[in-house]
């Protein structure tokens, strides 16, 4: 049984990952939000905002085999309406929060025989999309962090990868999918003609955390219905 820390387990992809992995692993879940579904999972849950919380308040296992950092933001505005605080907030959530967690848990990860870190980027970091300048900037930083840490940690046998989804049917994206017309339009923008779901992304996280992915590191893996690489 592996010890896996999942940040952002309260909803969306983080919750789907916690639910999937809790069946055969010891999950330490951290989220700023709590809901009955999280409380019903067989996990060790801590309610905390990773941006301003203190990880020293949590007694982590001596050995941590996996870290999933799943908090995210969707802050879509025309560039001239974005403030410096918008950029700072997106960067704090997506990048600095991950940095804080990795630095805290690195000694624990080093003690594992098969450690894996999974971060989250976005198709918007690869494909130029209007109104995405703030989120694309922070997610591009996540991709740079992923590759740099994969190189730095390789001699310690800690793998680092990132998943880059397109729009996924989660509460974070609810405003973008709030009507049948919006859902249909979004689906048609993807070569596979549909929107992704959190469970599909969670299965990739599960794979990257497992020994089946033991020769995979420094990769940005697009799960985006083909949007990142295909133009029809």
Strands 115-120 and 26-31, by their bridges, are unpaired
β-partners of residue 68 are 6, 118
Q: Which of 202, 179, 192, 181 is nearest to 227 (CA)?
A: 192
Among 187, 190, 188, CA closest to 222: 190
Provide the pLDDT for residue 171: 66
Least confident range from 1-15, 27-41, 193-207, 211-225: namely 27-41
| Residue at 163 is within a domain | yes
Nearest in space to 218 (alpha carbons), one of 160, 164, 145: 160
Q: Write out pLDDT tens, residues 166-182.
A: 887 766 655 766 677 77
- Classify burial at 84, counting beta carbons within 10 Å of its beta carbon; exposed 0-12, middle 13-18, buried 19 or more: exposed
Residue 178 lies in a domain: no
Within-domain flag for 151: yes
Residue 76: domain span: 3-168+197-223
Q: By percentage, how much of the chain surpasses pLDDT 70?
A: 96
Q: 180 lies in a domain?
A: no
Number of structural domains in the chain: 1
Asked whether residue 229 is domain-assigned, the answer is no
According to the model, what pLDDT value does residue 74 have?
Answer: 79
Residue 71 lies in a domain: yes
For residue range 82-115, list pLDDT tens digits in order: 999 999 999 999 999 999 999 999 999 999 999 9
Q: What is the pLDDT of residue 185?
A: 74
CB–CB of 108/61 below 8 Å? Answer: yes
Give the residue from 164, 172, 174 showing the smallest Cα distance to 204: 164
The CA distance from 74 to 173, in Å, is 7
Enumerate helices (H) and strands (E) in the chain, giving the number of each: 7, 9
Q: Which two tokens stand for residue 144?
A: 């740079």
Whether 179 is in a domain gets the answer no
Domain containing residue 32: CATH number: 3.40.50.720
For residue 188, being part of any structural domain is answered with no
Task: Return d(Cα 45, Cα 220) in angstroms, integer.
Answer: 28
pLDDT > 90? residue 146:
yes
């Amino acid at each position: 049984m592996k010890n896996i820390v999942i940040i952002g387990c309260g909803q969306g992809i983080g919750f789907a990952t916690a639910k999937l992995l809790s069946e055969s692993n010891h999950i330490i879940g951290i989220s700023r939000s709590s809901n009955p579904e999280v409380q019903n999972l067989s996990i060790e849950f801590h309610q905390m905002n990773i941006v301003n919380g203190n990880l020293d308040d949590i007694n982590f296992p001596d050995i941590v085999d996996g870290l999933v950092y799943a908090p995210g933001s969707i802050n879509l505005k025309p560039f001239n309406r974005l403030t410096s605080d918008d950029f700072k907030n997106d960067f704090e959530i997506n990048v600095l929060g991950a940095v804080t967690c990795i630095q805290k848990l690195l000694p624990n990860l080093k003690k594992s025989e098969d450690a894996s870190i999974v971060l989250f980027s976005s198709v918007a970091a690869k494909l130029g999309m209007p109104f995405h300048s703030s989120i694309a900037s922070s997610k591009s930083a996540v991709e740079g962090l992923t590759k740099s840490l994969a190189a730095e940690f390789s001699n310690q046998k800690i793998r680092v990868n990132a998943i880059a989804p397109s729009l996924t049917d989660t509460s974070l994206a609810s405003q973008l999918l709030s009507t049948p017309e919006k859902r249909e339009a979004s689906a048609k923008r993807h070569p596979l003609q549909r929107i992704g779901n959190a469970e599909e992304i969670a299965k990739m996280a599960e794979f990257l955390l497992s020994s089946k992915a033991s020769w995979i590191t420094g990769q940005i893996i697009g799960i985006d219905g083909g949007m990142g690489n295909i133009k029809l």
